[in-house]
A and B are shown apart, each in its own frame.
Chain A
């Protein structure tokens, strides 16, 4: 590809945001159309990337078969193949800082200070079989959010601009191949999200936004330190100081790191985690907060319950996937041994998320909080698949990330419809809505069934593969995770039945029929309107398509999953060398 399609995709929403700023704020219709046009165009571009990526497989597939046949992979430099790469230097410091250096030392060897290593990072983009799917999902969800964004929304123009800026951030996280560039987008995406959170939604949104930002940034800052750690340790070991992800993966600097850090207490020396493990934990913390995994999840219910529907469509749909994406892209590739060391920990957290999320969802009465906790539970499955550390699990995780984005967005749209009609989202106040709102009930049913993992719908495919992978890792994990699936039926159906079946219940005080009439008069309709149908139908269609014929998604996802598993299993390739080096270290006094 001769023209920089990734950069164009990445900055198209930015250009769109600037263009929208030029439209007078009062022309809401134009703004909304422009927003839809920009997001649709972005979706088109990501689809071009997706198709172009999937059109490549011959060469890539041969590599895959190479793995399958057990051939040596040492000929391949980096186990992950990235395509459409673009690289421009961003900050290039010279290799020598001679002036400063000499001025400080003045030729005195006793106080010679080592010249600091140069700091280089670049604007490096690229996609692999993991990020193309997520890019397409992100672009789709932003389009859906643009569709459900009501023209009557206050400060529509600002909302549209912030939404497009968050899209830039999200796409940047997915495409960047440089640790600094990644971190840059990772954090910068929070800025528009923060403004979206404080500007629109429930009255307690300020608190929720602050909580979310502080949680996320605290985790990310540890990741920043770990990025420096990766940089300097790799540099010290290989002589190559770089933040470039493919180079770092190829350098394999952490594959051989076994030396534990030690600390002494009361004269005894204790072996502690080795550097690779520390760095793994720092990265994992940032991602676990974003996912979120259970002990780090408490920002989520507040954030989800205070947001508006369009915001939640992409916030819940794609932003939370970035954490899982980071775990795959960075933790598995950069810290292969630590990934194995901490496999039980991560699997344990995943199981805790699945079960805790499911049980907590059972206990909620607020519809958005139910969906929020369900989301925690579902994302626990994704992490379970990732840290099964085998092809099936990872394949399932990749598919499930896409699936979950589709399902959660659709759920929030359905809940949003109910909330917009009756100004309530308390389960106990609502009931029997299937009669006055049959179309909503029908669509909601499909979404609910997809959410609980019904066969022939999309989540089943992902959860099946994840459980398959978890079973290979250890049957215990699979059994525990299955409990989550059972509870999922319970809380999803509890929500669906409570909302649509039984006697008609509405939150207001007057007679039910009068209330319904009042709503119809106010909104001009009661059931889902054309806008909501347009937003929901593609999502529901995707659920059905992926559920009925998952083969293409599985096949293409499998290739990338195999690559990542291979990257995470690099230690097995060098195990003998490692063992010998260990024994050599032991034999030395």
Chain B
């Protein structure tokens, strides 16, 4: 029984050690409150301070997490076994916090250009980040659910943040409905697991399942629970065939929200996916590894093949995200330490390249609508050589070319798959990677294609738009935004040449096996 139960202690104070263990969450959560208050009392027209304040809290949380990493190499379990502040969680925290920081830097300029309200945006963002941090170290089914909801509810609002944009509204509604549905699946799975094992603590569930499996007994109720959990989580990481919301939501949401959603959400959801499956449910590995592998393969095929047919940049990146989820899922399906390591590596790589790619979309977005049509990229190589170069870099990285971090992401995943004898996963991985080249390289081609290659209609379109485009070409906050893109690019290259920088971090990583 997990019963932290207070009956005997009417005045129960939370021990300081426990609070210390969740310090990053407290900072981010507290930050949300402070920003909320500041938004009420701030003088008019000082919106940029909101972003500054938000960034400051995120930085503080990041610093705290780094300090915790340095201070303790071993796992720290707090709140009576409900939350683990182990290196696994801290690594995921790093990725989430860095992505969130990038998004916060991108936001002010973008929100101003699109004419969106600012105050609530940062509060919701911080709340969602808090949910992700909760999820990273959740060691109890209740906490998992808490984290998922804390992460999702602000995102439902953020997705519909462009109130005048019908697409945004439609996306938010879809996200809300399907997200609620997925939460239902997740909750049902948790209930079954609790009903069968009598525990909500992952540690206790693991011990129970271990006994079960050692006795050679496969419990159908647990299998049903595992299936439901997998469906719920596959929805959150947007793996096919549970991805139906992804393209619409990614396309409809404001570009900064999409950036945040596509990277940070995926990282947090994969963190809990990895912890639940490769650690807690490891005794049932023989039962779930094939279905998860099938989901991974379907994701890789569906995402990559459908992305080829897209004409919208954000949809293309959405389908690419589905495909990438499939690759990361390889590590989950393996259910072994090297698979987990490879998945974490890929998530870190993904954070750099995908944040970078979406950040470019954010910068290119003009008043009223996002840069979305494929054709808007035409001639970017001449207009914005730096942005076009960096966008090419991110596309090459997503395609897995060497010299970029994406190569080593796939490298470790495929190597782990082959080592574990899952040749099918590796082969589907490379076949679909070859398909993915088609659309990633086409983006590059579009940017650098000579004017003659652009059709007459599009040429007209470009011509008619360009006066306005040049007027908005130098918006005020593009400076820091370009800095974000440049940093993401630098990370993509540096980690692509020196993979050891992250790999050694993952070497000593510890997971509380839940």
Is there a chain A Cβ closer than 8 Å to B343's Cβ? no
Contact residue among B285, B401, B503, B513 (Cβ-Cβ distance under 8 Å from A91): B503
Q: How far is the CB of B408 from chain A (nearest CB, A)?
A: 8
The prevalent SS among residues of A at the interface is helix
Shortest Cβ distance from B93 into chain A, in angstroms?
18
Contact: A221 with B402, CB < 8 Å? no
Q: Is the CB of A224 within 8 A of B414?
A: yes
Which of A99-107, A309-317, A418-426, A578-586 makes up part of the contact surface?
A: A99-107
Given A92-B500, A101-B337; A119-B415 close (CB under 8 Å): yes
* 5 cross-chain pairs, A with B, having the tightest CB-CB distances, nearest first: A116-B338, A221-B430, A218-B434, A228-B418, A99-B510
Give chain B nearest CB distance to A299 CB in angstroms: 13
Which residues of chain B are near A589, meaning CB under 8 Å? Answer: none
Q: How far apart are the CA atoms of A187 and B430 in the complex, in Å?
A: 14
Residue numbers in B under 8 Å from A187 (CB-CB) = 401-402, 407
Q: Does A217 contact B (CB under 8 A)?
A: yes
CA distance A456 to B283 in the complex (A): 73
Does A504 reach chain B (CB closer than 8 Å)? no
Answer whether A111 and B453 are a contact pair too, CB < 8 Å, given A90-B500, A103-B75, A116-B338.
no
In the assembled complex, which residues on chain A have CB atoms less than 8 Å from the CB atom of B73?
Answer: 99
Contact present for B507 and A228 (CB under 8 Å): no
B513 x A222 contact (CB < 8 A): no
Please name the residue on chain B nearest to A221 by beta carbon.
Answer: B430
Min CB–CB distance A198 → chain B (angstroms): 5
Q: 1/0 contact trace for B124-151 toward A, CB 8 Å?
A: 0000000000000000000000000000
- A221–B418 Cα distance when bound, in Å, is 13
A313 CB to closest chain B CB (Å) equals 22
Q: Among the listed B419, B504, B509, B512, which residue makes an inter-chain contact with A117, where contact means beta carbons less than 8 Å apart?
A: B419
A198–B444 touching, CB < 8 Å: yes
14 chain-A/chain-B pairs, Cβ below 8 angstroms: A91-B500, A93-B504, A99-B73, A99-B87, A116-B338, A119-B412, A190-B401, A195-B444, A199-B448, A203-B452, A206-B445, A218-B434, A221-B430, A224-B430
Q: Is B35 an interface residue (CB 8 A)?
A: no
Query: What residues on B are CB-neighbors of A183 within 8 Å?
Result: 402
A194 at the interface (CB under 8 A from B): yes
Given the interface pairs A93-B503, A117-B419, A232-B419, the reply to whether A210 lies near B336 with Cβ below 8 Å is no
Contact of A110 among B214, B403, B414, B511 (CB under 8 A): B214
Q: Do B336 and A116 touch across chains, with their CB atoms under 8 A apart?
A: yes
A225 adjacent to B510 (CB under 8 Å): no
Docked Cα-Cα span, A482 to B412, in Å, equals 47
CB distance from B416 to the nearest CB of A (A): 7
B282 within 8 A of A: yes
B499 at interface by CB-CB < 8 Å: yes
- Known contacts A111-B210, A191-B401; is-contact A104 B433 (Cβ 8 Å): no
Chain B 482-514 interface 0/1 with A at a Cβ cutoff of 8 Å (1 = within): 000000000000000001100110011111110
Which residues of B sit under 8 angstroms from A229, Cβ to Cβ? 418
Q: Does A94 contact B (CB under 8 A)?
A: yes
* A188 within 8 Å of B (CB atoms): yes
Main secondary structure of the interface of B (DSSP, over half): helix
Contacts of B401 in A (CB 8 A): 187-188, 190-191
A541 within 8 A of B: no
Q: Given contacts A119-B415, A222-B430, A225-B414, are A206 and B283 in contact (CB under 8 A)?
A: no
- Min C-beta distance of B422 to chain A, whole Å: 12
- Whether the pair A221, B433 counts as a contact (CB closer than 8 A) is yes
Residue A471 is within 8 A (CB to CB) of chain B in the complex: no
Residues of the A chain whose Cβ atoms lie less than 8 Å from the Cβ of B444: 194-195, 198
Query: What does the 1/0 interface line of B72-97 toward A look like (CB < 8 Å)?
Result: 01010000000000110000000000
How close is A171's CB to chain B, nearest CB, in angstroms? 15
B438 CB–A CB distance under 8 Å: yes
Nearest chain B CB to A162 CB, angstrom units:
11
Given A92-B500, A198-B445, A217-B434: A228 and B341 interface contact (C-beta under 8 Å)? no
Task: Tally chain A residues at the interface, Cβ within 8 Å.
Answer: 48
B278 within 8 A of A: yes
Q: How far is the CA of A90 from the CA of B415 in the complex (A)?
A: 17
Contact, CB under 8 Å: A184 / B445: no
Name which residue of chain B comes closest to A92, CB basis: B500
The one of B337, B504, B512 that contacts A115, using a Cβ cutoff of 8 Å: B337
List 16 additional A-B contacts (Cβ < 8 Å) besides A113-B337, A206-B445.
A90-B500, A91-B500, A93-B507, A97-B337, A97-B338, A100-B510, A103-B511, A116-B416, A116-B419, A183-B402, A194-B441, A199-B448, A203-B452, A206-B453, A210-B438, A218-B434
B68: chain A residues at CB < 8 Å are: none
* A203 CB contact (under 8 Å) in B86, B438, B453, B508: B453
Interface size on B, residues (CB 8 A): 58
Considering only residues 191-232 of chain A, those with a C-beta below 8 Å from chain B are 191, 194-195, 198-199, 203, 206, 209-210, 213-214, 217-218, 221-222, 224-225, 228-229, 231-232
Q: Does A62 contact B (CB under 8 A)?
A: no
* Docked pose: A100 CA to B416 CA in angstroms: 15
Does A108 sit at the interface, judged by CB under 8 A? Answer: yes
- Inter-chain contact A214/B414, CB cutoff 8 Å: no
List of A residues within 8 angstroms of B305 by Cβ: none
Residues of B contacting A184 with CB < 8 Å? Answer: 402-403, 407
CA A195 to CA B395, docked complex, whole Å: 13
User: Is the Cβ of B437 less than 8 Å from the Cβ of A217?
Assistant: yes
Interface residues of B in 174-223 (CB under 8 A from A): 210, 213-214
Question: What is the CB-to-nearest-CB distance from A194 to chain B, in angstroms, rounded to a whole number?
Answer: 7
Considering the complex, give the chain B residue whose CB is closest to the CB of A210.
B441
| Closest beta carbon of chain A to B350's beta carbon, Å | 19
Q: Give chain B residues whose Cβ lies under 8 Å from the Cβ of A93.
A: 503-504, 507
B112 contacts the other chain (CB 8 A)? no
B210 adjacent to A108 (CB under 8 Å): yes
In the complex the two chains form, what is the Cα distance from A47 to B336 in whole Å?
50
CA distance A184 to B498 in the complex (A): 12
Chain B residues, CB < 8 A from A104? 278-279, 282, 336-337, 511, 513
Asked whether any CB of chain A lies closer than 8 Å to the CB of B105, the reply is: no
Given contacts A100-B341, A111-B283, A214-B434, contact A228 B419 (CB under 8 A): yes
Assembly CA distance A99 to B86 (angstroms): 11
* In the complex, per-residue mask of A395-418: 1 if CB is within 8 Å of any chain B CB, else 0: 000000000000000000000000
Q: Of A90, A214, A222, A232, which contacts B418 at CB under 8 A?
A: A232
The CA-CA distance from A116 to B338 in the complex, in Å, is 6
CB nearest to A195 among chain B residues: B448
B427 within 8 A of A: yes
The contact string, 1 if C-beta is below 8 Å from chain A, for chain B 435-455, is: 001100110110011001100
Question: How far, in whole Å, are A217 and B445 apart by their CA atoms in the complex?
Answer: 17
8 Å CB interface, A164-196 against B:
180, 183-185, 187-188, 190-191, 194-195
B282, B396, B430: the one contacting A191 at CB < 8 Å is B396
Residue of B nearest to A181 (CB): B402
B340 within 8 A of A: yes
Give complex CA distance A93, B513 in Å.
22
Residue on A nearest B417 in the bound complex, by CB = A228
